[in-house]
Amino acid sequence: MDGDSLTAAPMLPIDSPERRRLPPLLRRAWYGLNQAFRRRISHTGVTPDQFTVLRILSEKDPAGLTQSELNQTMTSDPNTIASLLERMESAGWLARHPHEKDGRAYRIRLLPAGKIKFSEVRDLAVALQTEILSVLPERKRDEFFEHLAMVADACRSAAEKPSRSQPVDPLKRREMRRGGLTR
C-alpha cells in the first residue's frame, strides 16, 4: 500500500495563512484579467464593462433585453448599468425603445455601430482568454468552468441570503412561507 494514502496531512483551517483562500484568489484573478483586457482594448474606445454589454446584447434575444435583464445577466449594480447604457447610447452603439408590454421598461438593442464595435473587440477578448486558459490542460478547461460556475452560483446564493444580524423583510418572509421554505 502507498504510505501517503494511510497518513494524510492534517487539514488546516479554511482561513489558515498556509492555505490558498478563495477571496484573494478570485480577486487576483479578476483584477489581473480585467487589467490585461483593459490595456489590450484601450485603443478601441471600449471599456471591459461596455464590451460585456455588447457581448450580452449580441448573444441574447435579438428583440433586445430590458435593463433589469441586462443587470441580472451582468451581475452589476442598476445605477452602474444605467450610467453605462447612457454612455453607450451616446456613442451610437445601442438604442433604448419602449417595451411592447411593460410601459415602465425599455428594450435595449444593439445598433449596427455596436455590432461593428463588438466584432472589433471580440477577437482581442478571445485571444486573451485563450492565452490565460493555456495554463490549464485543454481536457481540464470544461471542468474548470463547471467548478467556477458552481462557486459563482454559491456566491450569488450567499449574497441573497439575509445575514443573521439583519431581520428578514416581512414581505419576503410571507413569500418564503408561501413557497414552503419556512414554517
For the stretch 155-167, pLDDT in tens is 989 988 887 766 6
Distance CA 62, CA 44 (A): 24
Domain assignment of residue 105, yes or no: yes
pLDDT band at residue 177, thresholds of 50, 70 and 90?
low
Residue 183 banded pLDDT, cuts 50, 70, 90: very low
Q: Is residue 174 part of a domain?
A: no
Domain that residue 53 falls in: 21-145
Which CATH number do you get for residue 65?
1.10.10.10
Number of domains in the chain: 1
Q: Is residue 153 part of a domain?
A: no
Please report whether residue 167 resides in a domain: no
In a domain, 164, yes or no: no
pLDDT at 10 over 90: no
Interacting residues of 50 by C-beta distance below 8 A, sequence separation 6+: 84, 87, 88, 93
The total number of residues written for the chain in this structure: 183
Does 50 map to a domain? yes
- Give domain status of residue 36, yes or no: yes
Residues 6+ apart with CB under 8 A from 10: none
Between CA 161 and CA 163 the distance in angstroms is 6
